[in-house]
Structure 1
Amino acid sequence: MSDTRITGVTGGAHGLAATYAAVRHLADRFDDAGSELRDWSGLGVRTLGDPDLAASAPLSPLTFALAERAVLAATTGPDGVLVESLGWESDAVVVCEVVAMIDTCDDLVAFAFQPMTERLFAITGPERYSGLLALTYGGDGQPGVRHPAVEVPGSGEQPSDLAGLVGQLQHVAALSQGSGSPLNGTVEVQTIHGPDGVRHIVYLPGTDDMTTLPWTQDGDVRDLPTDLLLMAGQDNSYQQGILQAMAQAGIGPHDPVLLVGHSMGGMEAAAILGQGGGGFHVTHIVTAGSPTAQVPSFPAGTHVLSLEHQGDVVPHTDGAPNPDTVQQATVTFADHGGAGGVVGDHDYWHYVNGAAAADASADPSVQEQLASLHESGFLASGDGPGATVTSQVFQIVRAP
């Protein structure tokens, strides 16, 4: 793990958003209690209007008067339920106001401590300039999906932890050896056949060619124009090719799916989940070095675990930190060694280290994300009969 340490965790099931949601739920309970107490205050009038009680007044005027005083005191008196209902409802309003103020303060503090790289990208407006630059490349073409006769090392084994997932993704990415590689655009679909059904892990490597110019664009679908389209939040051939490959792999609409992506691959995973899964039951995604803040939100109940190397500039190119949400937990880490520089800091070596550090983390949000991956059957648990794993490799290209 090369002395890797986690430097920060935001979001997830135990993040600020989850805490604020719980406090707002408490405020709702206060409000409900106030409404119920206010309804009870009407019992005084209804009780005193009871015919049997009214008939007893001439028979025992003193005890009737005492009963009347007690009922009115309990319902509409200074310490009665009507006054108490106003207190509970006032508390509900105060709690909501305080949470809103803290939330605003959090945003201001986050901006103050936002890395300079994020601020620079935010100033330039990546979603605007990316869309404009993408126009210079013309149309994005149509995706073509092929079945190359290649195998990925480790594809027959179910990953047992997060480091295993990122390591398998690294094996898939190794099929693309440079911008001119004949296997650029390859992805892998692992199908896990367990005693309780099937689930699938789709591995999505990142950019193959960052130097594409409008007059050098070819069939490589993981190129600079696709990055620009993704940053602008637009549809693209790589994304459509991923969905076609998933369909050709036999993934059913109700089969649980985990998408694992590095860089552009993680951006595609986030975009697919943010749009509802593209016709598939995507429940989890893991991203490594991927800017994902351009995706407005993720469906309730889904899990997004994002790894960001502290020296990697790529996750900051969306111009904003990942939002603190219940669905997404972002793990920032630092390590020593390996390649440096813009390209080196984005390397898989760092992200395998970061994944191993997350596996060992005691942070409750990280633990909840990892537990969900195990409970959903994507990661081997070591208990019970082992699963059978099959693999299919697809190559996505851009057709004219």
Structure 2
Amino acid sequence: MSGEVLPPIESVSGGSYGVRAGYAQMLALASRYERQAGDLAEMATTGGRVMADGDLLASSVLSPLSFAEAEVQVLDATTGADGLTVRAVGIEADAVGVRAVVAAFVASDAFAQHLGEAIDTTLGRLAGQALPRALPVLLAAGGITYVWWSTLSPREQAEVGAQLTDDLGRLVHDHPDLAQHLVNSGGGLLDGLTGGLVTGSAVLTGAGDGPVHGATTNDAARLMAVLLGDDTDVTVTEVPGVEGGAGVAQPDSLRSLVEQLSMTNDLDEGRGRADLHGAIQVQRVGEEPDDRYIVYLPGTDDMGPLPGPGGLVRDMETNLQLIGGMDNAYGRGVQQAMLDAGLEGKQVMLVGHSQGGMVSAALAADAEFARHFTVQHVVTAGAPTAQVEALPAGTSALHLENRGDAVPLLDGEDNPDQPRRTTVLFDEGTHDVVDNHSLDHYVSGAAAADASTDGSIRDQVEQMRADGFLGSGSGPVQTFVLARSASR
């Protein structure tokens, strides 16, 4: 909009201009060098064949001096100090050098990542080992704090609570790396608390993701999910004639795409009809046979630590399952809704906020899901997605993250730097951790990405447009409600 102040984009990682894309371009250059060296080496052998030609040798008797001069020239051009053979060897050496540099960079990246993981895990393990011994002191401190708290007036208690919340928000906004490292130490904390019982053992068996081998943050999430029941049963109901939600106008930009997602999110209970709690929406763009579909997936509905009544699919259990890389009711429900909508074999874009972004990335990487649908694009807003290590070769992803939003930090790691995967960090955050996760901010962040000249962002957006997901058309919207089975 004219005169609108857009949030600054702090960093862009991955994508067609990312580090990994640079590595790929360097390796492509090395391959080109090798091909050129091969061509020159092949050309160098021509000199020998020319000089061995029978007719040429026969003519040497008639003009020995000119033959000798020609022989010197040909051999110098092919095998001499500046000849083709020497040049071929030099170019081949350049190719080897480029590959060695890339290998060194990759090894350095891997070492840095593994070192960070080891440090986080070790600190978490030490904390887990120290916690039981420090528990009496912590309980005593907690008791003293409670006595002091009880002496405060309600107004003073509210002021202290607001100050603590503001301090936490300030920490997350100003030092998100600290929060990320704290999350990443969760596996070590689990290992320390259990005295190594989990590491390398078969503690987790049955319906979940199988045994935990080595304690990681993902393992801790899997353990919690199993303790909560690891439920994956879901019912899917189409609700016709829904007013509100995503409009029929095709998104023409990232901003309008996230706005559509926000309107789907507004169908939630308390902001719309109660029977639409747990709704997702599917929009058709384009006409057959070139029809394609955008699937809008809202985020967590229930942040309670334990599964609540009402059959909510988007709850903490699903969050834990997604962080742990496990099957989950939300993902199953989305797949069934898409099949019910007739999307079998169709090209689709998955757009999700928070948990909806997590399930979008997980489904795009799932081989079973790929049997039914061709996921060309994934767009996530405020979602931790680093646990999805790689997407299929034909899938592109754009991840929007707001500085100060703690939710994208909950995977404990940065998103992978991959040529078809771009992470955009913008700053419209305050010290209000909850507000920073709001879709209103992500609409602004999407607008900032639209206005950006960054090559990785531009390539992603233009590819969405070329693939027919962004444009000026319109198409019908279907609404489906996902709920956990009544037997829960």
Of residues 322, 327, 333 in structure 2, which corresponds to 1:230? 322
Q: How many aligned residue pairs are there?
A: 391
Give 1:174 shift: 1.9
Aligned to 1:132: 223
The counterpart of 1:116, out of the listed 173, 178, 181, is 178
2:140 equivalent to 1:78? no
Deviates more, 1:371-380 or 1:257-266: 371-380
Which amino acid in structure 2 is aligned with residue 60 of structure 1?
A: S
In 2: Cα distance, 1:108 partner to 1:167 partner: 40
What's the counterpart of residue 292 of structure 2? 199
Residue pair 2:246, 2:281 contacting (<8 A) in 1 also: no
Residue 240 of structure 2 corresponds to residue 240 of structure 1: no
Structure 2 gap segments, 5+ residues each: 117-174, 187-215
Q: Which residue of 2 aligns with 1:384?
A: none
Is the Cα contact below 8 Å between 2:245 and 2:266 reproduced in 1? no
1:330, distance to aligned residue in structure 2 (A): 0.8
1:9 is aligned to 12
Determine which structure has more spread, i.e. the larger CA radius of gyration. Answer: 2
**2:259 matches 1:164:** no
1:303 has 2:396 as partner: yes
Contact 2:31 / 2:95 at 8 angstroms: preserved in 1? Answer: yes
Q: Are residues 1:322 and 2:322 paired?
A: no
Alpha-carbon separation, structure 1, partners of 2:354 and 2:280: 14
Work out whether 1:26 is the aligned partner of 2:25.
Answer: no
Instruction: Give the structure with the larger strand fraction.
Output: 1
Matched, 1:100 2:110: no
- CA drift at 1:148: 3.0
1:156, 1:126 → 2: CA distance?
41
**Higher relative contact order structure (alpha carbons within 8 Å, sequence separation ≥ 6):** 1
Give TM-score, length-normalised by structure 1. 0.90
Aligned match of 1:393 in 452, 475, 479?
479
The structure whose residues are more often helix, as a share, is: 2
Instruction: Kindly indicate whether the alpha-carbon contact (under 8 Å) linking 2:230 and 2:317 is maintained by their aligned counterparts in 1.
Output: no
Listed one character per residue, the Cα deviations across residues 365-387 of structure 1 (whole Å, up to 9, x for unaligned) are 11221222222222224xxxxx3
Comparing 102-111 and 27-36, the one that deviates more: 102-111
Are residues 1:361 and 2:452 paired? yes
User: Which deviates the most, 169-178 or 326-335?
Assistant: 169-178
Bigger Cα displacement from structure 2, 16-25 vs 388-397: 16-25
Q: Which residue of the other structure, out of 235, 248, 252, is the alignment partner of 1:144? A: 235
**What RMSD, in angstroms, separates the aligned Cα atoms of the two structures?**
2.5
SS class of match (1:68): helix
Residue type of the alignment partner of 1:11: G
SS in 1 for 2:411: coil
Report what 2:55 is aligned to. 52
1:98 Cα offset (Å)? 2.2
Q: Deviation per CA, 1:253-294, whole angstroms, max 9, x where unpaired?
A: 0x3211100011111111111225532011111100011111
Tell me the CA shift for residue 182 of structure 1: 4.7
Q: Which residue of 363, 370, 383 maps to 1:272?
A: 363
> Which stretch has the larger CA shift, 20-29 or 110-119?
110-119
Q: Is the 8 A contact 1:31 1:89 kept in 2?
A: yes
User: Would the aligned equivalents of 1:289 and 1:312 in 2 still touch at CA under 8 Å?
Assistant: yes
Moved more, 277-286 or 261-270: 277-286
Counterparts of 2:246 and 2:410, CA distance in 1:
32
Q: CA deviation at 1:105?
A: 5.1
Is the contact made by 1:194 and 1:388 (CA closer than 8 Å) also made in structure 2?
no
Aligned to 2:386, what secondary structure does the other structure show?
Answer: coil
CA distance in 2, matches of 1:41, 1:2: 63
Alpha-carbon deviations, 1:6-52, whole Å to 9, x = none?
11111112222222211211111111111222222222322222111
Q: CA contact under 8 A between 1:4 and 1:336: conserved in structure 2?
A: no
* Letter matched to residue 186 of structure 1: A
**In the alignment, what sits opposite 1:184?**
277
Q: Which residue of 2 aligns with 1:312?
A: 405
Tell me the SS of whatever aligns to 1:295: coil
Write the distance in 2 (CA, Å) between the matches of 1:186 and 1:351.
Answer: 20
Q: Whole-Å Cα distance in 2 between the matches of residues 195 and 141 of structure 1?
A: 34
Q: Give the drift of 1:71.
A: 2.0
Q: 2: CA distance between counterparts of 1:251 and 1:80?
A: 61
Q: Give the residue type in structure 2 aligned to 1:390.
A: P
Q: TM-score, normalised by structure 2?
A: 0.74
Aligned to 2:191: none
Aligned to 2:153: none
